[in-house]
Amino acid sequence: MWREVVTNDPGCTDTAWANVCVEDEFALYAPDAFTPNGDGHNETFAVVTSVREPSFFRLRVFDRWGTALFTSTDPFVGWSGDGTAIGIYAWAVELLDSEGKPRKATGHVTLLR
């Protein structure tokens, strides 16, 4: 929270308030493999971004024919791979950063058991 108090020559004061959001330069990290095998490690595939609170978020995972297998609009919910065979899957993420700028990224992830 930013606050500024100003006073003019006759002594009248006024206060201005503003929320200031400071974020790092845009970055997105995605693992290239995950192992949903019940051992408690690497159980889901999810991306991590430098945008703390995106106003829009969508992560999708696709099979080799382009059929969407998983969609999440919550940046904290990842793909568990339930009912899916070992293999390589494409993913795409779209989000709006704190300034409303659209960001997109794509890649592949390997599901291992």
Question: Which pLDDT value is given to residue 29?
Answer: 96
Whole-Å CA distances, 90 to 3, 45, 111: 46, 12, 11
Mean pLDDT in order along the chain per 10 residues (113 residues): 84 83 82 95 95 94 97 97 96 93 97 94
**Cα 63 to Cα 53: distance, rounded to the nearest angstrom:** 28
Question: Which pLDDT value is given to residue 102?
Answer: 96
Nearest alpha-carbon partner for 57 in 35, 82, 28, 86: 28
Domains and CATH numbers, the chain: 23-111 (2.60.40.1220)
The reply to whether the predicted model has a pTM over 0.75 is yes
Residue 4 sits at φ, ψ, to 5 deg, of: -135, 130
Question: Which pLDDT value is given to residue 16?
Answer: 87
Question: Which pLDDT value is given to residue 6?
Answer: 86
